[in-house]
């Protein structure tokens, strides 16, 4: 069973629809409803994007990232979720201005969630990951973002700056791969 952390993203209906198409078993919980010990109850976690910057949201999501790391729990961060993964592990983010719409992403290294090649994805963000800590690596980039897909070097932790839940077949395949990884 997956835990989908709802960080009040406007893309939650897309994410729920995508997971339903994939016949994934999941539960959606708003970030403000989560207790500190809830992560261990699930096979994997998806952190959604967000609409606004709230300190309490950051605290909860940082704790989830830390727990997933310690417990080797599969974790996928989408947009804000990827940014909070990078921040929790020592990276930085920067404001880049609004990036919205379709973008071509170049995957330059195979990973458990994406193969080498190009994909069209949907972007909607104001921030991007500026620097990665040594435990994370970028396996994809675009014209607007140098860290489109991030992967932990030894743990099942992943992030996408784009929104796979709104990115048609490419995004659905990425989500499918994560769901399968979390089922193992």
What does the alpha-carbon distance between residue 71 and residue 76 come to, in Å, rounded to a whole number?
Answer: 14
Alpha-carbon gap, residue 61 to 136, rounded angstroms:
17
Known active-site residue 79: yes
Query: DSSP assignment of 20-66, as one string?
Result: HHTT--EEEEEGGG--TT-GGGSSEEEE---SS--HHHHHHHHHHHH
- Going across the sheet that includes 157-160, the strands are 26-30, 2-6, 44-47, 75-78, 157-160, 149-152, 136-142, 92-107, 117-131
Taking the C-alpha atoms of residue 142 and residue 69, their distance in angstroms, rounded to an integer, is 27
Is 165 an annotated catalytic residue? Answer: yes
Candidate list 103, 123, 148, 165, residue with the active-site label: 165
163 is catalytic: yes
Of 14, 79, 103, 152, which residue is the catalytic one?
79
Which of 14, 125, 152, 163 does the annotation list as catalytic? 163
Residue 122's DSSP bridge partners are 102, 163
Residues tagged active-site:
79, 163, 165
């Amino acid at each position: 069973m997956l835990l989908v952390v709802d960080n009040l993203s406007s893309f939650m209906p897309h994410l729920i629809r995508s997971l339903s198409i994939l016949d994934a078993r999941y539960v959606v919980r708003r970030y403000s409803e989560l207790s500190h010990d809830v992560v261990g109850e699930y096979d994997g976690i998806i952190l959604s994007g967000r609409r606004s910057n709230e300190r309490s949201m950051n605290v909860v999501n940082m704790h989830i990232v830390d727990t997933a790391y310690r417990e080797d729990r599969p974790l996928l961060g989408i947009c804000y979720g990827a940014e909070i993964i990078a921040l929790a592990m020592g990276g930085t983010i920067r404001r880049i201005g609004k990036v919205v719409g379709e973008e071509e992403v170049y995957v330059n290294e195979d990973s458990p969630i994406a193969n080498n090649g190009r994909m069209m994805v949907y972007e909607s963000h104001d921030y991007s990951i500026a620097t990665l800590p040594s435990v994370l690596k970028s396996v994809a980039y675009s014209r607007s973002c140098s860290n489109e897909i991030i992967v932990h070097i030894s743990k099942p932790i992943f992030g996408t700056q784009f929104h796979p839940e709104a990115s048609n077949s490419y995004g659905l395949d990425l989500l499918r791969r994560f769901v399968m990884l979390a089922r193992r």
